[in-house]
Structure 1
Amino acid sequence: MTYIEILNRSIPVEWLAVIFALFVTAGLYQIATKKKVGHWYWNGFLIYILIWKLSYILFNLKVSLTSPVSILYFHGGARGHILAIIVLSIYLLIVARKNSDLFDNHSTMVFILFFLVYEACLQFFANGWFALLVQFIGLTGIYLFFLSRVKKKKPISLQIYLFLILLEFLIISLFQPLISLDTITFTWLTVFFIIISNKKEVMS
């Protein structure tokens, strides 16, 4: 994990990338659609963070009981991430079942934009300006396409979403191993969003 010094504190780059991507994505979506991203976006983020952090207790119960302050500094790691993604998926499914209209065809793009911004930040700190430039070009192209679909009031087809997944895989493969926890998470959540956003019969 890469760290950056801020006010004499070592902050994981991943945390900064997530926070930056969270707000930038919300802004990009609002610019494109003229409406705020749904409450599921912010709630989902909080649910993920809480489960990911508190899962440290589940996987390190003895240490947590003997030294409770460790909960503030550590998290559940890869196992905590997987558990958080499972809980997040369940939450989104419950929300979608209660109100299937909450997720429209463009909701999947919210997560894709989030992942692209997140990866751009990570690649900058890990591989420098060239990696950032490549990610930025990909992000810009996808966002301009998104703007055009919103302006024309046309949905984004499944084939296009699959193409975007493959495109991001291609970009990632230039700088890191293609098979990783990040890419698996990206694939799962993108497919999951496609299902709940475009297949309302799944919710009935």
Structure 2
Amino acid sequence: MTYVNIGSLTIPSGWVASLLALILAALLNRIFTGKKIGEWYWNSFFFYFFIWKTSYIFFQFTLFLNMPLSIIYFNGGIKGHILALVVLILYLFFIVRKKYPSIHEEPIRIFLFYLIIYQTVINLIENNRIEMFIHSILLVCCLFLIKKISNQLFFLFLLLELLILSYFGSLFSIEGATFSTIGLIMLTLSKNKYGRRKP
């Protein structure tokens, strides 16, 4: 993994790409729809990051007691990642669906923005120019079609992203599995309680 130096801090490229994708996805959503993204979006990211990061205490309790500041540099790893995903799913299905009606309209659009921007940015940081260029083309196509996005188009874009990931890396990775899982969650959330998208 590539690291980015910001002043005296050394930050993993994945963190930088995640944060930029989070902000840019919300910005593009505002530009192309004229609507501000719901609070559920920011809360979801916070809950995932908080659980993934602090799960280190649970899984490495002795090490944490000996070196409390180690939590700055370490996280819960794969176990923490899975735990964070479980918490995220519970939050989205049992709290967000009741509290934020817009969840039925926003998830597939905002997830496509986030996914493609993340892949574009991280490949830019890691100097993978060909892969970055392909993701950029996909992002442009997504922007042109975003107002006509449907479950079928969403599924097509998701499959194309996974195909790109499998060509340049491995589909059967934590990253691929995570995006596939969250994509299916967003697809499920995009349906209203009667099982149909809102007009």
Both structures adopt the same fold (TM-score exceeding 0.5):
yes
What pairs up with 1:115-154 in 2 under 5 angstroms?
115-147=115-147, 149=148
Partner amino acid, structure 1, of 2:146 = F
CA distance in 1: counterparts of 2:11 and 2:100, whole angstroms: 38
Of residues 68-77 and 36-45 in structure 1, the stretch that sits farther from structure 2 once superposed is 68-77
Match of 2:62 in 1: 62
User: What whole-Å deviation, never above 9, does each CA across 1:111-154 have from its counterpart, x for those lacking one?
Assistant: 1210111111222233522221111011111121104x2xxxxx
Match of 1:88 in 2: 88
Of residues 91-100 and 160-169 in structure 1, the stretch that sits farther from structure 2 once superposed is 91-100
- What's the TM-score, normalizing by structure 1? 0.89
Matched, 1:194 2:187: yes
CA distance in 1: counterparts of 2:151 and 2:190, whole angstroms: 11
CA distance in 2: counterparts of 1:8 and 1:131, whole angstroms: 30
What SS does the corresponding residue of 1:102 show, helix, strand or coil?
Answer: helix
CA distance in 2: counterparts of 1:146 and 1:59, whole angstroms: 41
What SS does the corresponding residue of 1:198 show, helix, strand or coil?
Answer: coil
Matched, 1:179 2:172: yes
CA distance in 2: counterparts of 1:124 and 1:175, whole angstroms: 14
Unmatched runs of 5 consecutive residues or more in structure 2: none
What SS does the corresponding residue of 1:4 show, helix, strand or coil?
Answer: strand
Match of 2:34 in 1: 34
CA distance in 2: counterparts of 1:191 and 1:73, whole angstroms: 31
Match of 1:103 in 2: 103
CA distance in 2: counterparts of 1:96 and 1:41, whole angstroms: 10
Instruction: Choose the corresponding residue for 2:160, options 145, 160, 167.
Output: 167
Unmatched runs of 5 consecutive residues or more in structure 1: 150-155
- 1:106, CA displacement in angstroms? 3.8
**Amino-acid identity (%):** 36
Contact kept in structure 2, 1:53 and 1:76, CA below 8 Å = yes
- 1:166, CA displacement in angstroms? 1.0
Aligned length: 195
Match of 2:8 in 1: 8
Q: CA RMSD in A?
A: 1.7
Over 3 Å counting, the alpha-carbon distance change for 1:171 and 1:67 in structure 2 is same
- What's the TM-score, normalizing by structure 2? 0.91
CA distance in 1: counterparts of 2:43 and 2:28, whole angstroms: 18
What SS does the corresponding residue of 1:69 show, helix, strand or coil?
Answer: helix
What SS does the corresponding residue of 2:126 show, helix, strand or coil?
Answer: helix
Contact kept in structure 1, 2:37 and 2:106, CA below 8 Å = no
Contact kept in structure 2, 1:127 and 1:175, CA below 8 Å = no
Find runs of 4+ consecutive structure 1 residues off by over 6 angstroms: none
